[in-house]
A and B are shown apart, each in its own frame.
Chain A
Amino acid sequence: MNWLVVASGANGEPWWIALIKAAIVVNLVLFGFAYLTLIERKVMGRMQLRYGPNRAGPWGLMQPIADLVKLIRKESFFPAAAVDVLYIFSPFIAAFTALTTFSVIPWGPGWEIAGYQVNGYVADVPISLLLIFALGSLGVYGFIVGGWASDSKYSLLGSMRTCAQLVSYEVSLALSVLGVVLMAGSLSLVDVVAAQEQEVWYVIPQFVGFLVFILAGTAETARAPFDLPEAEQELVAGYHTEYGGMRFGLYSMSEYINLITLSGLAVTLFLGGWHGPWLPGPIWFLLKVFVLLFLFIWMRTTLPRLRYDQLMRFGWKVLLPVATVNAVITALLVVWI
């Protein structure tokens, strides 16, 4: 297991502790996903002068569990013309990549528990930022292949839109992060957080980068106002039109977990990670992530969906040049100052 220890950058931490932490983090992320759906429905409801779900349990708190039971108990049918293997496995690809991505995001300073070193992250890969983008791009396969394999025109159109949108906005997303990487001088997220501790939160010097990151990230996770891949009025539901039951559940789970990961990444890169006064690290991390998630929900209720040509124009003609100029200027400033 020595190679594993070295590869995960464990800094003197026994490998089995990383395993335990991985299990805890995965479950916490799943829990967060379940209640994010409830929070989203509640907040959106209040913004639209409704109550939101309030029937299952006190204040509707059991709603995610009710939804889960309902999804699991549904009959898992699929279209006769679907390509079976791909149809069944693509939700797993999407869910797997979404869940894996969270492992490199740091959420605490690291502790000494019962004589063992426990780090505040699951794995500190030297190229963690690249890993996140690579896994995000792999996750797109789950969406595209699933839409293609279900043999429906709506699914295919939805997956094509997803593909085009994710490819367009991934460029801006990566470029917006470049400024932070240049300032921190490292691709490791742990190092980025440490660098923000010494200097300032990178929102202040990299405000443009932060804006571009949030906008491109909204498009990346296909959230309103960039939710064209699943525009209900035109495409029934996008790439998961033919999916039902827990397979659909996995897709929706991977979307929400991508959103959580994106917020976690934004917190780590721009908002000082888990650093903050008085409260312990993980709590600060959760608080900041929650604020960003609220921002995404808020955006969803407020803004209407873009037209497809507007989306492409915004991505290529506004976001990409701004991100590029931001990266170049940051590079020049880093070199000369």
Chain B
Amino acid sequence: MQPFGTLKGFGVTFKHIFKKPITQQYPEYKRPVYPRFRGRHRLHRHANGLEKCVGCSLCAAACPADCIRVVAAENTAEHRVSAGERYARIYEINLSRCIFCGYCELACPFDAITLEAEFEISEYSRDDLIYTKDMLLAEPVKRMPVADRELYDSPIPVWKAES
């Protein structure tokens, strides 16, 4: 019935006024990102404090956006930075070019670079988006909530799991 159908629609919209909105208020509530989320990069160290990166430039070669710059230097006995023969004297990622594809992470033979959860990386200046080695090695200032890995890394895909 046409007129009553329309009135029913009015009833539906009116009822929804009293329901709780499903909006997630973003800056106050940050939804946990997926465990494999590809956010800002980090460089890692070994447990003994030496850098994992050996300055092989495979990440720079793999990068489709050409945003990684690596300049390597030899490790010496008195100045040992990494575990290998050489280390990255300069390691820069231009995050305004980066497309967050994760190929650098795949290319790295020593798991020195990984993509982490941080995604709030906007700056007022493009220059500030060029991350140097110190910034990439440092502990991240912002901590992004990451969802429980068990929820996703299971033999049953999450869309098939009963929840």
Contacts and interface: CB of A to CB of B under 8 A. Distances in A.
Do A and B originate from a single complex?
yes
Interface string A40-69: 000101111111000000000000000000
Contacts of A301: 13
A27 interface: no
A47 B21 contact: no
Contacts, number: 34
A302 interface: yes
A268 B155 CA distance: 69
A298 B22 contact: no
Contact of B21 (A51, A299, A302): A51
Nearest to B18: A46
Interface residues of A, number: 13
Contacts of B125: none
Contacts of A299: 10
Q: Which DSSP category, helix, strand, loop or mixed, fits chain A's interface?
A: helix
B23 A51 contact: yes
Interface string B1-43: 0000010011011101101111101000000000000000000
A299 B10 CA distance: 7
- Interface size grouping (class) on chain B: 10 to 19
A51 B21 CA distance: 6
A236 B44 CA distance: 50
A149 to B, nearest CB: 38
A302 B16 CA distance: 11
A48 B14 contact: no
A46 B6 contact: no
A46 B14 contact: no
Nearest to A299: B10
22 contacts: A43-B17, A45-B21, A46-B21, A47-B13, A47-B16, A47-B17, A48-B16, A49-B20, A49-B21, A49-B22, A50-B22, A50-B23, A51-B21, A51-B23, A51-B25, A298-B10, A298-B13, A298-B14, A299-B10, A301-B13, A302-B9, A303-B6
Given A50-B23, A298-B10, 14 more contacts: A43-B17, A45-B21, A46-B17, A46-B21, A47-B16, A47-B17, A48-B16, A49-B16, A49-B19, A50-B22, A51-B21, A298-B13, A302-B9, A302-B13
